[in-house]
């Protein structure tokens, strides 16, 4: 895809530290290609609020596109050159759109500025007070907790996150154009965004406040090595403005390579974690699910969390710290955090499926990286205490499976049985597909004395679960692909409660 604007030319955040009632998009005619995604639809709503004239196209009609049309944004499902708008100043293209898309070709012929979703999001952040949450794991959960906390404490944020949280109105929201109260009162309104490291897209962001939860090997088809990933996160951190301009970075004391990432930064840097040497110290009681947060040894607050696991305790703590930086008081924050109910496909407890003699608890989870799998399964075993834990895991992308095969094999130690369907094909080449298969993962699991089997299609897996599950079992469906369909079909089978 060709573009006529480089993200490196964007105005620095520090240059927009005054009240902003309009944005650089005001008065522009903007066309969204692939408008139906969570991020793109949220971006369209925000530009629409900024008095841009927005249109869009998508290949599939959905609840998101229907909502946009109700908000006055015309959408076409034809996606052809013929339906491209006559008046257009800018095209924003989803990451899924290929360079030879007919609408992009028309825009190129007409000399219209084409930008990616992440580039446009960076431009929007310049007109807001951007909070960008980065890390290999936990971005969506932490973002949703933070947005809920900000809403409950009266800070009225805008946000675009990569998962659906019905408690906060979905995956995106248009909040206040200015911050009404607290230490940032009068500054541009808060905009919370996930900062995804895939394809280095987070380098297009322009955060005022940044979070780095953790850094691990992932997207090795893009980066090639952990060292390159760490350097990419360091480049992201360098985008945060100086401490004098309000720039702050919250980074995990352990697990985020903070020494390499934070070295030489101009922004204020603080750490959080279970280590007593962290600036913000987190403690977590597994049995009560109580999280306590202290700063330099003095307790700030404590709360009980719905989502089990030490990793989720860290997510809650990070969100709490960020919300407090914007003026949320600790008693109100604690109440907000305790009322958070979770998001779809992140350790989501669907309920209990009725079987002969009792019930089977069913969870749906997005985890697709070895660390996510290991931590989630351990947390669920500790919390639910099942007789057996059966995990259905769909590997996401052939290259990730191949690069991390040994780590995947180690991550299922809390499972009594693992069922593996075909690997979900995303963007791999046909050659990459020949280098690894679901059976390779099954073989590695069996070599570690873990009961594992390769089953397909999804209907066969549902039938198998129907046949083998019994009272006291815990079934966890995991993966970033369409494997959630198995969770839905099994849970809604012959009865649930």
Residue (of 427, 421, 441) closest to 485 by Cα position: 421
Residue (of 275, 291, 372) closest to 333 by Cα position: 291
pLDDT tens digits along 364-419:
999 888 998 999 999 999 999 999 999 999 999 888 899 989 999 999 999 999 99
> Which pLDDT does position 494 carry in this prediction?
57
> Which pLDDT does position 10 carry in this prediction?
29
> Which pLDDT does position 19 carry in this prediction?
34
Angle at 338 between CA 332 and CA 344, to 5 degrees: 125
Per-residue b/e over 252-284, b at no fewer than 16 CB within 10 Å?
bbebbbbeebbeebebbbbbbbbeeebbbbbbb
How many residues can be counted in the chain?
Answer: 497
Confidence of residue 22 (pLDDT cuts 50, 70, 90): low
Residue (of 399, 380, 396) closest to 388 by Cα position: 380
pLDDT tens digits along 449-469:
999 999 999 999 999 999 999
Domains, the chain, with CATH or none: 23-116 (3.40.50.720), 128-339 (3.40.1190.10), 348-491 (3.90.190.20)
Average pLDDT of the chain is 90
């Amino acid at each position: 895809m060709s573009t006529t604007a480089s993200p490196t030319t964007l105005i620095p955040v520090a240059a927009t530290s005054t009240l902003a009632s309009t944005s650089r998009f005001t008065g522009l005619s903007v066309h969204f290609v692939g408008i139906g995604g969570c991020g793109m639809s949220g971006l369209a709503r925000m530009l629409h609020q900024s008095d841009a004239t927005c249109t869009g196209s998508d290949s599939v009609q959905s609840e998101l596109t229907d909502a946009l049309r109700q908000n006055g944004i015309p959408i076409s499902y034809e996606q052809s050159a013929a339906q491209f708008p006559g008046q257009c100043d800018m095209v924003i293209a989803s990451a899924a759109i290929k360079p030879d898309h007919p609408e992009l070709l028309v825009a190129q012929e007409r000399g219209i500025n084409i930008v990616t979703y992440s580039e446009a999001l960076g431009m929007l952040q310049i007109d807001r007070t951007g909070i960008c949450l980065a890390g290999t794991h936990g971005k969506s959960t932490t973002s949703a907790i933070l947005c809920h906390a900000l809403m409950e404490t009266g800070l009225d944020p805008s946000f675009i996150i990569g998962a659906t949280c019905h408690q906060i109105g979905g995956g995106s929201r248009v909040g206040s154009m200015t911050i009404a109260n607290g230490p940032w009162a009068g500054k541009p309104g808060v905009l919370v965004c996930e900062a995804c490291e895939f394809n280095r897209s987070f380098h297009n962001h322009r955060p005022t406040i940044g979070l780095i939860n953790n850094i691990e090997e992932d997207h090795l088809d893009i980066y090639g090595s952990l060292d390159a990933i760490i350097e990419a996160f360091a480049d992201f951190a360098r985008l945060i403005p100086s401490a004098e301009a309000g720039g702050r970075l919250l980074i995990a004391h352990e697990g985020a390579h903070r020494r390499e990432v934070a070295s030489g930064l101009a922004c204020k840097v603080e750490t959080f974690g279970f280590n007593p040497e962290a600036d913000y110290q987190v403690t977590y009681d597994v049995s009560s699910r109580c999280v306590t947060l202290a700063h330099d040894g003095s307790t700030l607050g404590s709360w009980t969390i719905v989502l089990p696991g030490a990793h989720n305790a860290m997510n809650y703590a990070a969100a709490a710290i960020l919300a407090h930086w914007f003026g949320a008081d600790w008693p109100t924050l604690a109440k907000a955090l305790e009322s958070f109910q979770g998001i779809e496909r992140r350790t989501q407890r669907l309920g209990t499926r009725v079987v002969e003699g009792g019930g089977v608890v069913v969870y749906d989870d997005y985890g697709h990286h070895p660390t996510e799998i290991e931590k989630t399964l351990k947390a669920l075993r500790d919390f639910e205490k099942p007789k057996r834990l059966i995990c259905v895991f769909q590997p996401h992308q052939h290259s990730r499976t191949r690069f991390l095969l040994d780590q995947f094999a180690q991550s299922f130690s809390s499972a009594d049985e693992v069922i593996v369907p075909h690997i979900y094909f995303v963007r791999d080449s046909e050659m990459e597909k020949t280098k690894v298969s679901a059976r390779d993962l099954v073989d590695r699991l069996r070599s570690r004395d873990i009961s594992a089997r390769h089953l397909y299609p999804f209907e066969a897996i549902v039938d198998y679960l129907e046949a083998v599950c019994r009272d006291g079992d815990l079934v966890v469906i995991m993966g970033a692909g369409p494997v959630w369909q198995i969770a839905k079909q099994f849970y809604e089978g012959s009865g649930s409660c």
